[in-house]
């Protein structure tokens, strides 16, 4: 993992090296808003301001250049919303503009999220030609009743057609699958995961449906499997994926050998990321501080603010007291855990700041520790929020 060495002679607290830097780009429009979705997405009503939005994204990136000057970008993730609503020509213009403004590594992973209801073979060939080398496809389920209950715009036939088109143009793609769906049985959950495996993706993300605030499902909860059944689903899904050769390397992420999601791994190892687009977040490290930014969420307001010079709505420094929890919030999602030296490298704090809570978690069966390494136990992964609260208390 490459880092940029920093000069010595600084204050008592700071980073000796900057972490890898990724770029996240948010596309806030969807055909319709799903009832479970709490992401910054907005139903497309009067057409897409495609050219205007691409121009705003590139101006947004330009305003951030002083914050990241000279740092290479290791990966790009285009998320949403539904980025695949945008034309291949628009994505090509965007990626060309990014390459002209930052140092994008030659082997950078460039991912685009796609909804099966937007798949057209020629469009996805254009995405590949523009430089996109990985897709993340929001299948969620292959069961038509469950797709309808989730408010998805595609059906099971369109889901399978999307996979066929993905195979034609990409050798690296992820399928999103959800379980613990309204009135779902264990057999149905396993049918979905086996259907996903049969599609031969390089990566599968298996998510437990949760009722998030500010969603239709939260206001009007559907009948969901109880906790015991949901836990049985999780265990069985993990077993089926392991038997099919998928490595369980993060809470919800399963990859074939050598196909872990590099962009997401950068998040989970407390790397840096610049976020552009409506509602995008950023975490950027400096020798003596770490800052977080958030852009304006409403697409219209984002475009107006960007036209006025900057779309950053909030910017704040992460305090030393917040760093232990923020670090653990990411690293403890990893099945293999982390080397203790990474805590100091990414936070600038000594390991002694977290040793007491680590030892308590070890005693309670939530963590395993060797001299230089920490990893969550199976119990710690299952009760991750309980484990993380230990470090929030430390903060």
pLDDT at 393: 52
For residue range 19-71, list pLDDT tens digits in order.
Answer: 999 999 999 998 887 877 777 888 888 889 999 999 999 999 999 999 999 99
Tell me which residue has tokens 């100091």.
344
127 has pLDDT over 60? yes
Rounded CA-CA distance 285/323 in Å is 12
Distance of CA 201 to the CA centre of its chain: 18
DSSP string, 170-236: -S-EEEEEEES-TT--HHHHHHHHHHHHHT--SEEEEEE----TTSHHHHS------HHHHHHHHHH
For residue range 189-207, list pLDDT tens digits in order.
Answer: 999 999 999 999 999 999 9
1 has pLDDT over 70? no
Contact 280, 315 (CB under 8 A): no
For residue range 260-287, list pLDDT tens digits in order.
Answer: 999 999 999 999 999 999 999 999 999 9
Q: Which of residues 218 and 308 earns the better pLDDT score?
A: 308
pLDDT at 119: 84
pLDDT at 3: 42
395 has pLDDT over 50? no
Task: Tell me which residue of 208, 146, 202, 209 sits closest to 174, measured CA to CA.
Answer: 202
4 has pLDDT over 50? no
DSSP string, 85-136: GS-HHHHHHHHHHHHHHS-EEEEEEEEEEE-GGG--HHHHHHHHHHT--EEE
Helix, strand, coil % in the chain, rounded to nearest 5:
40, 25, 35
315 has pLDDT over 90? yes
pLDDT at 33: 78
Strand 21-27, strand 73-80: pairing: parallel
Sign of CA dihedral 235, 240, 242, 246: negative
Q: Which two structure tokens, joined as six digits, stand for 382?
A: 């299952």
394 has pLDDT over 60? no
At residue 137 the predicted structure's pLDDT band, cuts being 50, 70 and 90, is very high
Average pLDDT score over residue span 291-320: 96
Q: Which of residues 234 and 5 earns the better pLDDT score?
A: 234
Q: Which two structure tokens, joined as six digits, stand for 108?
A: 């950078």
Average pLDDT, the chain: 92
pLDDT at 40: 80
Task: Tell me which residue of 140, 134, 98, 100 sits closest to 117, measured CA to CA.
Answer: 140
pLDDT at 38: 73
pLDDT at 152: 85
pLDDT at 2: 39
Q: Which domains occur in the chain, in start order?
A: 4-267 (3.20.20.70), 323-394 (1.10.10)
For residue range 319-377, list pLDDT tens digits in order.
Answer: 999 999 999 999 999 999 999 999 999 999 999 999 999 999 999 999 999 999 999 99
Rounded CA-CA distance 18/272 in Å is 8
CB atoms within 10 A of CB 393: 11
Q: How far, in Å, are 111, 112, 149, 279 from residue 57 at the CA level? A: 17, 15, 34, 12
pLDDT at 361: 96
Average pLDDT score over residue span 105-111: 97
Q: How far apart are the first and last CA of the chain?
A: 28
Tell me which residue has tokens 């990474």.
342
> Which of 29-38, 87-96, 153-162 tops mean pLDDT?
87-96
Task: Tell me which residue of 103, 82, 94, 91 sits closest to 27, measured CA to CA.
Answer: 82
Rounded CA-CA distance 137/167 in Å is 12
């Amino acid at each position: 993992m490459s880092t940029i060495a920093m000069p010595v002679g600084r204050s008592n607290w700071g980073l000796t090296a900057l972490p890898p830097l990724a770029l996240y780009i948010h596309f806030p429009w969807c055909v319709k808003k799903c009832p479970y979705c709490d992401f910054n997405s907005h139903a497309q009503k009067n057409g897409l301001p495609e050219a205007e939005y691409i121009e705003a994204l590139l101006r947004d990136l330009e305003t951030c250049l002083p914050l990241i000057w000279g740092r290479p970008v290791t990966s790009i993730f285009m998320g949403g919303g539904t980025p695949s609503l945008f034309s291949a020509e628009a994505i090509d213009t965007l990626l060309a503009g990014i390459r002209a403004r930052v140092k994008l590594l030659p082997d950078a992973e460039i991912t685009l999220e796609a909804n099966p209801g937007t798949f057209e073979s020629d469009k996805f060939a254009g995405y590949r030609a523009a430089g996109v080398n990985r897709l993340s496809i929001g299948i969620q389920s292959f069961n038509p009743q469950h797709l309808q209950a989730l408010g998805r715009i595609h059906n099971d036939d369109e889901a399978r057609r999307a996979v066929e088109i993905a195979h034609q143009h990409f050798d690296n793609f992820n399928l999103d699958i959800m379980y613990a769906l309204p009135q779902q049985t264990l057999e149905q959950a396993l049918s979905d995961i086996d259907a996903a495996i049969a599609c031969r993706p390089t990566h599968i993300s298996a998510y437990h449906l949760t009722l998030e605030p500010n969603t239709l499902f939260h206001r009007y909860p559907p009948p969901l499997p109880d906790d015991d059944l949901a836990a049985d689903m999780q265990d069985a899904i993990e077993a089926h994926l392991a038997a099919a050769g998928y490595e369980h390397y993060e809470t919800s992420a399963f990859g074939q050998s050598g196909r872990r999601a590099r962009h997401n791994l950068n998040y989970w190892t407390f790397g840096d990321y610049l976020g552009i687009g409506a509602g995008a977040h950023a975490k950027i490290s400096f020798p003596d501080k770490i800052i977080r930014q958030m852009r304006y969420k409403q697409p219209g307001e984002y475009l107006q603010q960007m036209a006025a010079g900057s779309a950053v709505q909030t910017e704040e420094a992460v305090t030393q007291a917040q760093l232990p929890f923020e670090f653990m919030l990411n690293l403890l999602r990893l099945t293999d855990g982390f080397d203790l030296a990474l805590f100091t490298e990414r936070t600038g704090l000594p390991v002694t700041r977290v040793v007491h809570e680590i030892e308590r978690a070890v005693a309670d069966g939530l963590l395993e520790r060797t001299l230089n390494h920490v990893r969550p136990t199976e119990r710690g992964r299952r009760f991750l929020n309980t484990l993380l609260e230990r470090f929030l208390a430390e903060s």
